[in-house]
Structures are given as C-alpha cells and as structure tokens.
Structure 1
Amino acid sequence: MKSANRRRELAVDMGPPSSPGPDLGTQLPEAAWVLPIADSRAIPDTADPGERALLSESIRLAFTAALQLLPPRQRAILILRDVLAYSSAETAGILDTTAASVNSALQRARATLAERDPTRPPLDPASDTLLSRYCEAFENSDIETLIALLHEDGTTAMPPYRWWLRGRTAMAAALRAAGDPCRGSRLVPVRANGTTAVAQYGPAGAGRLQPFGLVVIEWLDGKMLATTTFLEQPSRLFTIFGLSDEFPAPTSYT
C-alpha cells in the first residue's frame, strides 16, 4: 500500500504518454491529485488589475511548485499562507499545530522553491479571448477549430486517471476519433489556479444538464499549452466554485 503522505503528482509525472483512444485506464484515488482552487477564494474583489495579475501568477506558480516539489505538510502550508493569505495563527489552527511550526515549514518550503527555481510560461494576456474561442468551438462541436487551438507541445490529462497525451498530433487524433461525445454540453467560464478554466455541464436526460467536469486551461503563444479535466465528483467541485448543479442561463462568449 502506498503511503498517504506520498506527494501528489501530475499525470505527466506518472508514466509515459497514453495512446489516443477511449480507454482511460484505472481510476486513481483523489489523494493522488491536487484539486483546483477558485481564484475568487484567493484574490480579493478589491484588488486592482495589476494586483490581480500578480496574485494570479503567484497562484499558478505555487500550485505547480507545491505539487511537484514539496511534501504534503509544506505544500498545505505554502498554499494556505502564500495563496490563500491566511495568517500563521490561522494556518496553525487549520492544521492543528503551532504558529512556530507553520513559520518553520513555510521557510523550508520557500527555500526549496528558491533552490529549484520552478518556472511556468507567463499567463497569455489574450487568454480570456482565447477561452471564448474555445467555448464556442466546443459547444458547436467544431473539432477543426479546437485542433487549431492546440499547442504543438501541449498536453491534456483527465484526473483521476493516469491517461494523458502530449503533442498536437496525438491530441488531434483523440479529438477526431472521439466522434461527438460532448454534443449538447455547455461551458461556464471560471478562473482556477490563477488561469482560465471552464465548468462543463453534460446532458443528463429530459433536457437537463448536470456537472461533468472542471477544465483548467493554460495558454502559451495563443495556443492551449495544457488542459486538465477534473472528472471526479464534479458536483463537489462545482460547489467549491460557487456553481449550481443545474446549468444556469445561457452564457455569451462574445
């Protein structure tokens, strides 16, 4: 049995890319992943555009670095202190420890990150416009436009499965081979992990739409660099993001 204290990983860290196809493999426990966080929970409504940009970037870097480099307790403290802006005392109360222990762990976490210098591509300033194009293409089942939005070296993954793909060729093959499994789905733009995201509602019969998954999208040079579709317990995720279990009024992407 694997330890509960193992680090959480990205699918790309778990093994080689999968082959395009419908088989996603074995479902892994939620403990294998870091779930996305809504920007609205980490960025104050009063923040000006410059502050929002800086905070968004810090969230993206903190999540990536914490996921890949830090043990669980340091990861939790880094996110609570540097992303959610809890005080040392508040963090200590949440984790049932002392403020001194929190400060010590935070120093070690920051030192690890400084030593390893984790980096991610900067957030594409046109990401909101690009997200609108993605939403329109997706809802219209416009596969060729979706493929045109893929980055040549992009990746796609679907937690809680190990399945993942790398490169436009593999992702395009998967999109073309899938047929039209998401016809009738609708997307609601949100912000997660300091970048763009959409909540996907899928058909549930009798004209209803229900939560299907939350898709976090990173952009580079006008293309989708990474898409991660969180499929497990979508209703719980949607609640975290303040979304209803029923699809809301139609959204305009113009």
Structure 2
Amino acid sequence: MIESMDPPGDEAAFELLVQRHRREIYAHCYRMLGSVQDAEDAVQESLLAAWRGLAGFEGRSALRTWLFRIATNVCLRLSSRRPRRMLSSDHGPARSGTRDLGEPVTGPVWIEPWPDDPPADDEPDPAAAYLRRESVELAFVAALQHLPGTQRAVLILREVLDFSAAEVAEILGTTPASVNSASQRARAVVRRRMPERSQQAELAAVGPGGRRALVDAFMTAWERADVPALLDLLSEDARFTMPPLPAWFDGREDVGRFLAERVFATPWRLVPIAANGQPAFACYQHDGERFRLGAVNVLHLRNGRISWIAGFVDPQVTRRFDVPGEILPPER
C-alpha cells in the first residue's frame, strides 16, 4: 500500500488499477538497478509519483506505458546517484589462498539475487513465463549494469518488455531513431558479456528430470561435505563467488580447495529454492545448536555442469527469501 498524500482520487481504486502491473514494474526496476532492495525503493517511489500525478493522466498513452515512464525515470535518477552494481569478478581478481577472504565490502555495490515467484498452476502462456525467467537471470542482469543508464532502459523496454521504438521514445523523451541506435549499441555490449545459451535454454536441455537429479546430487554432496562428488558436478572453469566478501575462486581446483578448507569446517543443510529463474538453495550452517540461514547459493549451468556457484552471504540479502531463518537438526 502506498503512503497517503491526499491527492485527488481514491487510493483503493488506484491500488486496483496498478495491481496488475506491480510485479512487472518491480522486475523492471530490478533489471535496471541490479538490486532487490533498490528495486523496492524504486517501486515505492514510482507508485507514489503515479498516485500524485494521477489527476494529470489524460489517457493519451496506455496506463502501462505511463507507469513504465514513471518507473524508468525513477530508476535512471536512482542509478545516477549510486555506484554501478557489480559481480565479484568486476571488483577484483580471483584468489588461490583460502585463509584471507577479505573484509566484507558493504554498501550498494553488489548484484543481488532475485527471489522467484512460486510457479503458477494455471500459467496461461508458457512462452511468456520462459522469457520472464530469462530476463532476470543473474548473468543478464549483471551484463545490463555495464550499460549507460539510458541504453539499459532502451534495451529492457524494447527487448524484454516489447515496447515499440515509438513507445520507448515517448517514455524517455527522445526520438525513435535515437532509440533504435541506442538499442543496437546496447545489444552489442550485452551480447559480448553473455554466455552462448541462457539458463532457461540450459535447463531445457537437461530437462526436468536432469534438473532434479542435479539438485539432489548437489544437495547430497554438500550436506555430506563430499568435495570429490561436488567437483564431479562442476565444469573445469567453475567459479565460486560470495559477496559481500571480496574473495572469489576461479577453476575447479581452487573451488575445491576453498570448499574443503573453509566451507565444510561446519555442517550444512540445504533447502532447494529458485532464484533468478535458476536452481538455488537456502543454505543453513550449524552453529552448535541449530542450523541458521547463512547463505543463498544460485547455480549457473553450462552443458549440464555447474559453471558458477553464486553465493550470497549478506543477511540483508538472504532474509528477502521466503524461507525460515533457522531449522532444527534432523532427529537421530
């Protein structure tokens, strides 16, 4: 619910009017800003601006276009005042030693994971659902952050949300020719930073059974601290990242050393979840009494193997997932 600012109109009617667009705007703000927290702030500011400006909405454009114009400009303003969100590989080189993981780098710095919606039983359009998941994948959101703000907005509005060049020009206050030029430049940058296949394509290639088998094998090996079994699931060039800690590890050998020497110093329990349209886990670390939520791990696949374990250990990030903060040890 937005804050009441006493403009003309009825707040309940306004909520009903924008409700069908709220989640789509939220995802749009996440793609623009690379952060769930920033996206929440942007949605709140956008809806408040729309509420205040509702009396001036004359219906010359569709309501969806009007709302996205407000949200896009809010995101552009916020992104101009904050540092670009990044991945660990953007922050510094990989490490080999496991003793010093560095002090946490705090503040609005890191790309954050996106908690997936639960799958709808009556999804009316599987193709649309596929594209929606593809458009919040970690690699895609990270690639977007390398674009200037306006190019980022153009690419998302054109390629993800399917606005026409004329509609994007209206949203950004520019011309269709400028939109087409910006879109072409933005596609070239993002293409260079993206893997050959999206995660949705990788998951489709392994199929539902292959996904379940991979999730089960990863969870079993992790809970047993079985490093050789985990390494069998990884690609040779697998990465392990864990912001806000700056340390990250590149290559199966270094990842395996980190797992053996640091990660499995204490027992873990994993709960399968989904994030960014990708397999993920809520990871619970034993503290002597209970298993407490210590991380969210998102898996990135390539050719049926795990090529990136994107770990997130910031409590401000992990608590945004709808999972318990702790779980009891299994009964013996």
The TM-score with structure 1 as length reference comes to: 0.74
Match of 2:188 in 1: 115
Counterpart of 2:323 (choices 243, 247, 252) is: 243
C-alpha displacement of 1:203: 1.6
Question: Which whole-Å deviations, capped at 9, do the CAs of 1:79-113 have from their partners, x for residues lacking one?
Answer: 79987x7x9xxxxxxxxxxx834999998875543
Q: Is 1:215 paired with 2:292?
A: no
Counterpart of 1:160 (choices 235, 244, 248) is: 244
Q: Is 1:190 paired with 2:273?
A: yes
Q: Is 1:55 paired with 2:132?
A: yes
The TM-score with structure 2 as length reference comes to: 0.59
Match of 2:143 in 1: 65
Question: Which whole-Å deviations, capped at 9, do the CAs of 1:128-173 have from their partners, x for residues lacking one?
Answer: 4212210011011111101111210111111002211111121122
Q: Which of structures 1 and 2 has the bigger CA Rg? A: 2
C-alpha displacement of 1:36: 0.6
Partners of 1:205 and 1:18 lie apart in 2 by 30
Partners of 1:247 and 1:22 lie apart in 2 by 29
C-alpha displacement of 1:35: 0.9
Q: Can you give the 5+ residue segments of structure 2 that lack an aligned partner in the other structure?
A: 1-79, 164-169
Q: Which structure features the higher share of helix residues?
A: 2
Q: CA RMSD in A?
A: 3.7
Q: Secondary structure at the match of 2:135?
A: helix
Residues 155 and 45 of structure 1: CA distance in aligned 2, closer, same or farther (over 3 Å): farther
Match of 1:139 in 2: 223
Match of 1:201 in 2: 284
Partners of 2:143 and 2:327 lie apart in 1 by 34
Partners of 1:140 and 1:165 lie apart in 2 by 21
Match of 1:17 in 2: 94
Counterpart of 1:36 (choices 113, 116, 125) is: 113
Partners of 2:313 and 2:246 lie apart in 1 by 12
Question: Which whole-Å deviations, capped at 9, do the CAs of 1:210-240 have from their partners, x for residues lacking one?
Answer: 110111110112221011111111xx43442
Partners of 1:44 and 1:100 lie apart in 2 by 34
Partners of 1:109 and 1:248 lie apart in 2 by 52
Counterpart of 2:257 (choices 150, 154, 173) is: 173
